[in-house]
């Protein structure tokens, strides 16, 4: 079980994972060593699964986001294994979700332009059979965050 200090640590680290331990400790009202121990415990327990750098897509020349809804031609393990291998092999696919409802999978693809998306699409259909793929190009990013709300974490 976590306490309010652990939740505050998570909130701060989700905004800046590179914050120095001394600064983090000061913000949560601890000295550095106990604060560092709490961070290590959160990592050891898997609540913090990894720390990453968020890259600016526009500066990295992949400003276009394409959401692709995928319908599987059949629901069997062999096809799903092939799909998993395909999405792992395409670096432009940055997220993949299995869904309920009409669409079986949702992919988020980042590319420089429509021509590059078409090349990605061509690579995908050469590797695997699909019943349907429906693409939507994002016009404007209204909200993007990797931070999750901490208010639902069970606390002491």
The pLDDT value given to residue 109:
98
CA distances to 3, 69, 91, 95, 100 from 129, in Å? 49, 14, 19, 20, 20
Residue 62 has pLDDT above 90, yes or no: yes
Residue 61 has pLDDT above 90, yes or no: yes
> Across residues 65-70, what is the average pLDDT?
98
Determine the length of the chain: 156
74-91: pLDDT as tens digits: 999 999 999 999 999 999
Percent of the chain with pLDDT over 70: 100
Q: Per residue in 39-71, is it b (16+ CB within 10 Å) or e — as a string? A: beebeeeeebeeeeeeeebeeeebebbbebbbe
Separation of alpha carbons 98 and 70, rounded Å: 9
The pLDDT value given to residue 156:
79
Is residue 131 packed enough to be buried (19+ CB in 10 Å), middle (13-18) or exposed (0-12)?
A: exposed
Separation of alpha carbons 108 and 97, rounded Å: 9
15-42: pLDDT as tens digits: 999 999 999 999 999 999 999 999 999 9
Is the backbone of residue 44 left (phi > 0), alpha (psi -120 to 50) or beta?
alpha
CATH domain 64-137 topology? Alpha-Beta Plaits (3.30.70)
The pLDDT value given to residue 155:
87
Return the domain boundaries, the chain: 4-44, 64-137
Domain 4-44 class in CATH: mainly alpha
C-alpha Rg value of the chain to the nearest Å: 20
């Amino acid at each position: 079980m976590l306490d309010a200090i652990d939740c505050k640590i998570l909130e701060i680290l989700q905004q800046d994972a590179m914050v120095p331990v001394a600064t983090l400790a000061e913000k949560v009202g601890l000295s550095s060593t106990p604060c560092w121990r709490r961070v290590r415990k959160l990592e050891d327990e898997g609540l913090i699964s990894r720390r990453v750098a968020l890259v600016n897509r526009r500066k990295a020349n992949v400003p276009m986001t394409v959401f692709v809804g995928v319908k599987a031609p059949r629901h069997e393990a062999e096809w799903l294994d092939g799909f998993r291998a395909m999405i792992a092999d395409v670096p432009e696919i940055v997220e993949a979700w299995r869904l309920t409802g009409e669409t079986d999978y949702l992919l988020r693809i980042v590319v420089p332009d429509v021509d590059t998306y078409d090349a990605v699409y061509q690579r995908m259909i050469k590797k695997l059979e699909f019943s349907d793929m429906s693409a939507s190009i994002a016009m404007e990013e209204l909200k993007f965050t990797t931070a999750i709300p901490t208010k639902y974490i069970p606390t002491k």
